[in-house]
Amino acid sequence: MRKIVTLALFVFAVTTSIAQEIHWVSFEEAVALQKKNPKKIIMDTYTNWCGPCKILDKKTFGNADVIQYINDNYYAVKFNAEGNSPVNFKNKTYTNPQYDAARASSRNSQHELAQFLGIRAYPTIVFLDEQADLIAPIVGYKTPQQLELYLKMFKTDRYKTLKSQDAFNTYATNFKHEFNNTNKAKNVVAKTIPKQDTNKVIAKPVAQNTTKQHTVALGETLGTISKKYYNNTSKYYLIYEANKTILDSPNAIRKGQILTIPSL
Specify the DSSP class assigned to residue 129. -
Determine the Cα–Cα distance for residues 150 and 249; give it in Å rounded to an integer: 16
Determine the Cα–Cα distance for residues 241 and 264; give it in Å rounded to an integer: 13
pLDDT tens per residue, range 143-159:
999 999 999 999 999 99
Class of domain 211-262: alpha beta
Predicted confidence (pLDDT) at residue 101 exceeds the cutoff of 70: yes
Determine the Cα–Cα distance for residues 181 and 65; give it in Å rounded to an integer: 9
Query: For position 200, what pLDDT does the model report?
Result: 46
pLDDT tens per residue, range 230-253:
887 767 777 877 776 677 667 778
Phi/psi of residue 53, nearest 5 degrees = -65, -40
Alpha-carbon dihedral sign for residues 31, 33, 36, 39: negative
Determine the Cα–Cα distance for residues 257 and 246; give it in Å rounded to an integer: 9
Determine the Cα–Cα distance for residues 43 and 122; give it in Å rounded to an integer: 12
User: Poorest-confidence range of 32-36, 66-70, 196-200, 234-238?
Assistant: 196-200
Q: 216: pLDDT confidence band, cut at 50, 70 and 90?
A: confident
Mean per-residue pLDDT for 18-26? 84
pLDDT tens per residue, range 48-79:
999 999 999 999 999 999 999 999 999 999 99
Q: Are 94 and 112 in contact (CB under 8 A)?
A: yes
CATH code reported for the domain at 2-174: 3.40.30.10
Count other C-beta atoms under 10 Å from residue 225's C-beta: 20
Question: Taking the domains of the chain in order of start, what are their residue ranges?
Answer: 2-174, 211-262
Q: 198: pLDDT confidence band, cut at 50, 70 and 90?
A: very low
Predicted confidence (pLDDT) at residue 162 exceeds the cutoff of 60: yes
Mean per-residue pLDDT for 35-56? 96
Mind giving me the DSSP string for 203-236? Answer: --PPPP--EEEEEPPTT--HHHHHHHHHS-GGGH
- Quick check: do 2-174 and 211-262 share a fold? no
Predicted confidence (pLDDT) at residue 14 exceeds the cutoff of 60: no
